Amino acid sequence: MKTKKQFSKLVATATLALAAIAPSFGQINLGAACGCPSVASRPTVLLSSLPGFTAIAGTYGGELTQSLTLTCDKTYIIDQKIYVQTGKTLTINPGTVLKGRVAPFLSGTTTPDPAKASALVIERGAKLMADGTADCQIVYTAEADPLDGTFPIANKGQWGGVVVLGKATNNLTLAANGPFVPGGSGKLAVADGVGTMEGFATSNVQDQYGANLTGGESFDDNDNSGIMRYNSFRFAGAILTVGAELNALSLCSVGRGTTIEHCEFISSADDNIEFFGGTVNLRYCAGLYGNDDMYDFDLSYSGHGQFLFGLKTDNTASVDADNGFECDSDDNKSNNLPYAKPVWYNVTLIGNNKTTFTSDNSGLAAIEAKELTGGEFYNSVFANFDKGFNVIKAMGTRTGSSEAYHNWATTGGNGSSILKVKCNTFVGCTNPITVDKLASSVLTTDNTQFYTTDMNVAVTGNTLPGFDYTFTINNNGSATPYSHNVDAIPNPSLSVAGCPVPPVDGFFRPANYRGAFASTGENWLSDWSYAAVLGATKGLVACPTDINGDGVTDVNDFLIFAPAFGTSCN
């Protein structure tokens, strides 16, 4: 997502004066900078009509059995579950739009059949090469979205989403996590090391991820499923049943050879992004208005993440909103190894301070650490959650003598210290730390570790200089809902003196501040992202010379600017 540019105050004034029309330009002329025609003029093509498409018996979908390239002169309809076959590559050119079709109705009802939700599925051994650019994003959205900036953010779960299946490590075993049962039971395994994507109703080989360890296969943590760069995922997340959903982006045993950068996730009915095992890394990603978790990991996920942003929607009773991070190590409380141990730096997540549980939303924490999870969270900002860091200690039905708490606690723990929460700032969180969801269960030694040893900071209310977590959404049914938006950039930047620094490992980048954005740097959110169209954050402006937002600087921008020349900016 493109960085904002420095610009004169005069041009800024002219740009802001056109804020009301810029969103429609930003959608209708998506891809104009790379020569794409207007979205409205692009003919539609069903993905199931492409050469080589072959139906898969027993499922609502079929495979693309040839390597294909999608171009931005057409709009492609994801009309079923469309699988990219093992060994094949689907290339999506910059500026291209794909639209997911809503599922057909259940017999005799007007309710879509979730088992028939459309989705784009990249099989094990296949690749998705979706390498967009800052000015020419690749967009996956609902078929009903006219891409003119008018589609309401409340339209969640209009289609399934994008699913990537890989060969990297997970900790599934058939004994503990199988045999596969559709639904929310957590029974995902079909063999040791092989799982079926949650939210799918069949156990077809095309739906499976990982490696069959009992069959002689091995995990490949460097597995490469392709590139997703400057991709926007909108209005996805079909729900099969509670606890078994598709997400905007589902990553299952995806390896670190895969590139995920500059992606956004808008109005998902479930998680923005969920990791089912794997080692894939991501950076410069943003998730807004999801109904469940912002970033969810399970099944021994151990990738890295840096420069991540998240924003909830409002906290009305009808809106679900769960955790910032939902952190699980093993499914079904099975004590399987290896433990999940991802590493996160420079994250900013803003919640809505919701306190009432709804649906399967039962955490409402910035970091919800459970099911023996490990993981490392450094130099980040979490704001406006009911709970900041909630760590589960009670054993419940788990066998053994440890839970997530014991992986974190230096006093009363198990000595593993594989869960670390250090040098983070919790702003306006009602309870910055809770144990088993209760502030009353936090021991004196827990507070000492959290605040003193680990250098976490709690800021009362909305009082952090330069930072404003409050937002007002006038109408969830509106495409431009804000009358007040957040400012996610503390000023001055928050110190990381004495804190861990991102390792020099080829992935992490130097960052001497807490949170996703530096006060002295530039907002990396794209000025062509849907977040920008909605005006979700302050500090994000369009290209200064592209005043009408059509993707190019030309005489039309000059004609808009000229009448404003010499006028006062005060």
pLDDT of the residue at 12: 28
Q: d(Cα 404, Cα 182) in Å, to the nearest integer?
A: 27
Residue in this structure with the two tokens 């983070």, named with its chain if needed: 424
* Tokens standing for residue 222: 């460097």
Q: Is the pLDDT of residue 23 over 70?
A: no
Among 136, 45, 143, which residue's Cα sits nearest to residue 93?
A: 136
pLDDT of the residue at 561: 66
| Contact criterion met (CB below 8 Å) for 465 and 492 | yes
Q: How far is CA 201 from the centre of its chain?
A: 24
For the chain, the structural domain boundaries read: 304-515
Q: Is the pLDDT of residue 541 over 50?
A: no
Q: d(Cα 545, Cα 241) in Å, to the nearest integer?
A: 48
Across residues 198-203, what is the average pLDDT? Answer: 78
Band of residue 314 on the pLDDT scale cut at 50, 70, 90: low
* Tokens standing for residue 325: 């991070």
Among 203, 47, 205, which residue's Cα sits nearest to residue 120?
A: 47
Q: In what order do the strands lie in the sheet with 53-55?
A: 53-55, 61-64, 81-84, 119-122, 161-165, 249-252, 273-276, 295-298, 325-327, 365-369, 387-391, 431-435
Residue 141 bridge partners (DSSP):
99
* Tokens standing for residue 290: 């999801």
Q: Is the pLDDT of residue 278 over 50?
A: yes
Band of residue 5 on the pLDDT scale cut at 50, 70, 90: very low
Q: Average per-residue pLDDT in the chain?
A: 85
Across residues 127-140, what is the average pLDDT? Answer: 95
Q: d(Cα 67, Cα 328) in Å, to the nearest integer?
A: 36
Band of residue 242 on the pLDDT scale cut at 50, 70, 90: low
Lowest mean pLDDT among 258-272, 299-313, 358-372: 358-372
Q: Is the pLDDT of residue 529 over 80?
A: no
Q: Is the pLDDT of residue 76 over 80?
A: yes
Among 325, 328, 326, which residue's Cα sits nearest to residue 298?
A: 328
pLDDT of the residue at 13: 27
pLDDT tens across 428-468, in order? 999 999 999 999 999 999 999 999 999 999 999 999 999 99
Q: How far is CA 218 from the centre of its chain?
A: 28
User: Quick check: helix, strand or coil at residue 77?
Assistant: strand
pTM for this entry: 0.89
Across residues 173-180, what is the average pLDDT? Answer: 91
Q: Is the pLDDT of residue 567 over 70?
A: no
Share of the chain above pLDDT 70, in %: 82
Q: Is the pLDDT of residue 147 over 70?
A: yes
Among 238, 230, 217, 98, which residue's Cα sits nearest to residue 166?
A: 217
